[in-house]
Amino acid sequence: MATLFGSGIKRREDPRLITGQATYVDDVKLPGLAYAVFARSPYAHAKITRIDVSAARQAPGVIAVYTGADVKDRLVPVPCAWNVPNCDLKIPAHPLLAYDKVRYAGDAVAMVIAETRAQARDAVDLVDVDYEPLRATADPEQATQPGAARLHEEIPDNIGFTWVVSGGDAAAAFQHAEVAVSQRIVQQRLLPTAMEPRAAVAQYNRGSGQLTLWATSQNPHIHRFLCSVMLKLPEHRIRVIAPEVGGGFGSKIPAYPDEALVSFAAMELGIPVKWTEDRSENYKVTIHGRDHIEYVEMCGTRDGKITGIRTRVYAGLGAYASTAAPGIPTILHGLVYSGSYMIPNIHGTIYGVYTNGTPVDAYRGAGRPEAAYLIERLVDIFARKIGMDPIEVRRRNFIPKDKFPYTVATGLIYDSGNYEAALDKALGILDLKAFRAEQAKARKDGRYLGMGLVSYIEICGLGPSQVAGAVGFGGGLYDSAIVRVYPTGVVKVYIGASPHGQGEETTFAQIVASEFGYPVENVEIIHGDTDNTPQGWGTYGSRTTAVCGSAVKVAALRVKEKAKLLAAHLLEANEADLEWKDDAFRVKGSPDKAKGMAELALMANVAWNMPPGMEPGLEATAFFDPTNFVYPFGTHICTVEVDEQTGQVKILRYIAVDDCGPPINPMIVDGQIHGGVIQGIGEGLQEIAVYDEEAQLVTGTMMDYAVPKASQMPHIEVAHTITPSPVNPLGVKGCGEAGTIASAACLVNAVCDALAPLGITHIDKPLTPARVWAAIQKAKGATP
């Protein structure tokens, strides 16, 4: 039993999921339910000169039609909640329904409510809008150029902010450097593609004035707050329920107009209203990720010491500033430019740029994969330039394991790490010598084999609330848990975080059951309903286990503390003479005199014989606010063969060594790594959201956007090192984003290594056959 923490037990959420008994938002049915469908702009940028909804209003089954004019004075525009300080951040209004101008293809102009989904869909076709198309661009660099289309009147150059990160003296470092390398890097737009599209069901009780909103949310408490702002409805009148949620990857963090509008309709009409995105709509209006154009440089010495890194980044924001958007390419990106290395001089200028694309926000890793990618690419390019093995360059610059906590040039304090151990472990699994020999032989035969390696760090376990406040994040970043012990001893735990596939119903039960000496079946984890869970800040940023899991642990310990006092009282022993052994408090020296948690729970709940002054009941609440972020790390290695004739990249092996502290459930940790790695390989190999010159999303369906398929993806060899974090009582670090942060860079490094004989140092991801082939042709001097 003592080993429950750390054991790969089966997940407790699975039985309902594998039998079709789970309830996702679109599964929610209510009597009299009506359906909402949105009329959306086909243009990426246009003036609205006229909207006529009279025909739509007359259509069969239609209950109501709302336009921007109907709601603009009654509802508050979608808030942006990350007010990054020390820059000139401009946040233009994001109306819930566009009324004067549309700024991206998909901007909603009207909402139709009808008795059935099909009727609402039919009526949307009758919404008649006259548009006067304007020039448009979805390219964040182009959008800053003179003469580019202007999205928001008040922002003439489309630059939403210029943010600078600086540590040491990068200008001097570059000026005196023995070697410097530079590269233009495009980190393409990605479509998060949670398999469950977003949905909302709103029900309003006019009698009680209570709104219930079922929403596909990673953070129901944040949604409650933001909906309260948009709807001008007091927060305690809103109950947000995130039932089963089918994946998020960041896309279910932000506030969107849709949920607020559906709530508004339910309040206006006094009937429940449901809206469910279809996939094409999801690709158009649910946030996108990445979208950077970067000019990056690294300098150092001939013997491999990195002395500086410098960047200029155009980070696309899309048409409006989504909830966390300003913080992603700044706080979560620029501050981690040191990676795993001691880089004394860092300078980055980040432009957040409005474009006529879908808003960009947090997508798995959020800012940190972009940072890891540019650092790890630069290390390889730098190593090539000085003729040193990139592995050796990494070793020479790693922060040594005895230097933690370590303050990097950007000011972050890394909690703990042992980067070389992860590197050595990964190299051991690979058998580097054997691979290099195989590669050399293949090269003689005219075949292109390559090996890519990435030693990443990430910043996770977001984070201390004080830091959240200091960096302009519009909320706290603690989390919470109530551990409630029933009279029969079984436990319910109500948590603030809101998992949606990460398995915390299992891992958190493991934490409590381990503490109480229980089988895991005795503990149930409740999440996702703001009416019965304490304030939490959501599941993202690999924070749930590190922060909310710690709250669970602290609450469980509080319960145990009280139980111990009660045990002492009942055993007529001194508290100091009691010890917790196996599954009970026992009197030292006479272990048969014992009280287990179940018995103590009964006695506490009936309160027949309490110590003087002790309150009845057995439960505790904890709000856990960490003292620092956690910094997981690891080394990934990928080997590939590139087909010179077709440009096809074949992954031969993928090795992931990650350190996320002690795993509570190794099976679940490995699952997170698998999923993350494949998402990053998708990014490296095939995923790209393409816009045409008119800022129309060309990859608007799953037919065109290359979500990885099983047959295209490799088997991943997973291993771990374990370096506990000192900043939380579990010692855990988080593993949800690790895979994605490492894998895209790893893949590109491998392909560039394979093509090194041709002199190729960089190809922008995704490495589709066409791109790789073109690079090969160019290197050979042919015109592709």
Partner 1 sequence: MERPVTLNINGRSHTVQVEPRALLVHVLRDTLNLTGTHVGCDTSQCGACTVLVDGQAVKSCTTLAVQAEGTRITTIEGLARGDTLHPLQMAFWEKHGLQCGFCTPGMILTAVDFLAQNPDPTDDEIRHAIEGNLCRCTGYQNIVAAIKSAAATLRAGNAGAAA
- Positions that interact with partner 1 (CB under 8 A): 10-11, 13-15, 17-24, 26-27, 29, 117-118, 193-197, 244-247, 249, 276, 278-280, 500-503, 667-668, 670-671, 674-679, 701-703, 707-711, 713, 715-716, 739
Q: DSSP state, 529?
A: B
CA dihedral angle for residue 531, residue 534, residue 539, residue 545, rounded to 10 degrees: -140
What string of DSSP letters covers 464-493?
Answer: -HHHHHHTTBSS---EEEEEEE-TTS-EEE
- State the Cα–Cα distance between residues 492 and 241, nearest whole angstrom: 18
> Which residues fall within 8 angstroms of residue 648, CB to CB, at 6 or more apart?
642, 769, 772
Task: Between 600 and 677, name the residue whose CB sits nearer to partner 1.
Answer: 677
Q: What's the token pair of residue 233? A: 């409805």
Bridge partners of 48?
131
- State the Cα–Cα distance between residues 147 and 149, nearest whole angstrom: 7
Task: Between 530 and 679, name the residue whose CB sits nearer to partner 1.
Answer: 679
Task: Between 70 and 196, name the residue whose CB sits nearer to partner 1.
Answer: 196
Residue 278 near which of partner 1, ligand FES, none (CB within 5-8 Å, type-dependent): partner 1
Tell me how far, at minimum, the Cβ of 672 lies from partner 1, in Å: 8
- Draw the binding track, 289-308, toward ligand FES (x: CB under 6 A; -: no contact): --------------------
Task: Between 195 and 576, name the residue whose CB sits nearer to ligand FES.
Answer: 195
Residue facing ligand FES at closest CB distance: 195
Q: Which residues of 228-246 are buried (b: 16+ CB within 10 A; e: fewer)?
A: bbbbebeeeebbbbbbbbb
CA quadruple 160, 165, 166, 172: dihedral sign: negative
Residue 715 near which of partner 1, ligand FES, none (CB within 5-8 Å, type-dependent): partner 1
Task: Between 22 and 30, name the residue whose CB sits nearer to ligand FES.
Answer: 22
Q: What's the token pair of residue 72? A: 């603009």
The answer to whether the CB of 599 falls within 8 A of the CB of 612 is: no
Closest C-alpha among 651, 509, 510, 478 to residue 3: 510
> Which residues fall within 8 angstroms of residue 360, CB to CB, at 6 or more apart?
189, 287, 288, 289, 290, 291, 315, 316, 317, 318, 322, 325, 328
Using the rule CB under 6 A, is 247 a contact of ligand FES?
Answer: yes
Task: Between 476 and 503, name the residue whose CB sits nearer to partner 1.
Answer: 503
- State the Cα–Cα distance between residues 301 and 559, nearest whole angstrom: 57
The alpha carbon of residue 775 and the mean position of all alpha carbons in its chain are separated, in whole angstroms, by 32
Tell me how far, at minimum, the Cβ of 656 lies from partner 1, in Å: 10
Closest C-alpha among 516, 538, 658 to residue 600: 516
Closest C-alpha among 147, 136, 187 to residue 355: 136
Where do the H-state alpha helices sit in 550-609? 550-570, 597-606
Tell me how far, at minimum, the Cβ of 241 lies from partner 1, in Å: 16
Tell me how far, at minimum, the Cβ of 218 lies from ligand FES, in Å: 14
Bridge partners of 700?
none
Residue 606 near which of ligand FES, partner 1, none (CB within 5-8 Å, type-dependent): none
Task: Between 282 and 323, name the residue whose CB sits nearer to ligand FES.
Answer: 282
Secondary structure (H, E, C), 410-464: CCCEECCCCHHHHHHHHHHHHCHHHHHHHHHHHHHCCCEEEEEEEEEECCECCCC
Task: Between 121 and 395, name the residue whose CB sits nearer to partner 1.
Answer: 121
Residue 191 near which of ligand FES, partner 1, none (CB within 5-8 Å, type-dependent): none
Residue 500 near which of ligand FES, partner 1, none (CB within 5-8 Å, type-dependent): partner 1
Task: Between 2 and 195, name the residue whose CB sits nearer to ligand FES.
Answer: 195
Task: Between 246 and 472, name the residue whose CB sits nearer to partner 1.
Answer: 246
Residue 765 near which of ligand FES, partner 1, none (CB within 5-8 Å, type-dependent): none
Q: 730: left (phi > 0), else alpha (psi -120 to 50), else beta?
A: alpha
Residue 671 near which of partner 1, ligand FES, none (CB within 5-8 Å, type-dependent): partner 1
Task: Between 576 and 703, name the residue whose CB sits nearer to ligand FES.
Answer: 703
Closest C-alpha among 8, 3, 1, 15 to residue 672: 8
Task: Between 517 and 682, name the residue whose CB sits nearer to partner 1.
Answer: 682
Task: Between 26 and 659, name the residue whose CB sits nearer to ligand FES.
Answer: 26
Tell me how far, at minimum, the Cβ of 501 lies from ligand FES, in Å: 5
Tell me how far, at minimum, the Cβ of 249 lies from partner 1, in Å: 7
Q: DSSP state, 691?
A: B
Tell me how far, at minimum, the Cβ of 23 lies from partner 1, in Å: 7
Q: Hey, which residues between 506 and 545 contact ligand FES (CB under 6 A)?
A: none
Tell me how far, at minimum, the Cβ of 195 lies from ligand FES, in Å: 4
Task: Between 14 and 693, name the residue whose CB sits nearer to partner 1.
Answer: 14
Size of the site for ligand FES (CB under 6 A): 3
Using the rule CB under 6 A, is 501 a contact of ligand FES?
Answer: yes
Residue 709 near which of partner 1, ligand FES, none (CB within 5-8 Å, type-dependent): partner 1
Tell me how far, at minimum, the Cβ of 512 lies from ligand FES, in Å: 25
Task: Between 195 and 434, name the residue whose CB sits nearer to ligand FES.
Answer: 195
**Chosen residue from 31, 73, 146, 195 binding ligand FES by CB under 6 A:** 195
Residue 674 near which of ligand FES, partner 1, none (CB within 5-8 Å, type-dependent): partner 1
Tell me how far, at minimum, the Cβ of 522 lies from ligand FES, in Å: 27
Tell me how far, at minimum, the Cβ of 65 lies from partner 1, in Å: 22
Q: Say how many C-beta atoms besides its own lie within 10 A of residue 58's C-beta.
A: 11
Residue 762 near which of ligand FES, partner 1, none (CB within 5-8 Å, type-dependent): none
Show the CA angle centred on residue 515, arms to residues 537 and 479, nearest 5°: 10
Q: Say how many C-beta atoms besides its own lie within 10 A of residue 278's C-beta.
A: 13
- State the Cα–Cα distance between residues 88 and 698, nearest whole angstrom: 33
- State the Cα–Cα distance between residues 642 and 647, nearest whole angstrom: 6
The answer to whether the CB of 457 falls within 8 A of the CB of 414 is: yes
Tell me how far, at minimum, the Cβ of 317 lies from ligand FES, in Å: 28
147: preceding bond cis by omega (within 30 degrees):
no
Tell me how far, at minimum, the Cβ of 253 lies from ligand FES, in Å: 17
Residue 488 near which of partner 1, ligand FES, none (CB within 5-8 Å, type-dependent): none
Tell me how far, at minimum, the Cβ of 247 lies from ligand FES, in Å: 5
Tell me how far, at minimum, the Cβ of 107 lies from ligand FES, in Å: 26
Residue 576 near which of partner 1, ligand FES, none (CB within 5-8 Å, type-dependent): none
Contact positions vs ligand FES (CB under 6 A): 195, 247, 501
